[in-house]
Chain A
């Protein structure tokens, strides 16, 4: 059962405000495709439930529908919380099936994948206003100033949804988290490697600060 059903999300938020800090929250992982959202979702899920939740591959748009891990029990900063973890499809302004052909897919498969990817993007955008805490995951080796990042952050800010920017892939030589801090100085940036698990504890503590 999902506690984060969209029609009741705002009511739930309002009631939580009335009766103190809530013990349950939804955490959405947002960002461009191929920034490591699913690797991070798997890391978080494995740490707290012992099992992974998402498929990972080098082909962009591997996650084409919202993947949910519900009622994950976590202990953060001495508090026990339950979390619905939502691994979102990567948001993009274009989906060209020819990109998938380059990865060896047949034209027909590539077109089908592109169609699914566009649906996934629409679904991820619809969820933007229904998460309690958002992690905006960025590839620290890439330019952070993408329109997708700007649009995601602008919409989360407009709804006053707490944001944690995750500078991922810090295990790579080219990684530069300062570029991300300069681009979005209004948000907390946590440097991690979802692949190696580097600094993941700090990320959990930051989640606890926003959710607890």
Chain B
């Protein structure tokens, strides 16, 4: 694992282009695959409430002795209203930011409400 190489924490900033064109299932798979590799991801978009809900559900299915779960927080609106859906269908971006990481690395992730505070460490 990445952390075993040193004392640092690996943070990956992910452009919205990486997730562009992926449906929710593949987007969440991408997130969880990386989080389980002990990475903290900063995504250039907010997840929709439905995606957040599914992310928690899938995470719970994966919880084990070595993977207790995730910390996640988002800024901006990942809504499923008509305007947002249209923008996405037309290949546009909706503003927002999501931070997600393994809970054994993310000690604290707080939203307040227009800023995210992250405290990470092994």
Residue of A nearest to B106 (CB): A94
CB within 8 A of A96: which of B74, B103, B112?
B103
Tell me, yes or no, whether B17 is within 8 Å of chain A by CB.
Answer: no
Tell me, yes or no, whether A128 is within 8 Å of chain B by CB.
Answer: yes
Complex alpha-carbon distance, A121 and B63, angstroms: 12
Are B52 and A95 in contact (CB-based, < 8 A)? no
Residue of A nearest to B68 (CB): A96
| A92-B69, A145-B113 known; A121 vs B60 contact (CB < 8 Å) | yes
Tell me, yes or no, whether A45 is within 8 Å of chain B by CB.
Answer: no
A155 / chain B contacts, CB cutoff of 8 Å: 49-50, 52-53
Interface centre among A111, A119, A148, A151 (most CB of B within 10 A): A151
For the residues of A in contact with B, the DSSP-based class is: helix
Q: 18 additional contacts, CB 8 Å, given A148-B56, A150-B74, A155-B49?
A: A93-B56, A93-B69, A93-B70, A93-B71, A94-B70, A94-B71, A95-B63, A111-B65, A121-B57, A122-B61, A125-B56, A147-B71, A151-B49, A151-B56, A154-B79, A155-B50, A155-B53, A158-B49
> Hey, which bits of chain B sit against chain A, CB under 8 A?
48-50, 52-53, 56-57, 59-61, 63, 65, 68-74, 79-80, 103-104, 109-113
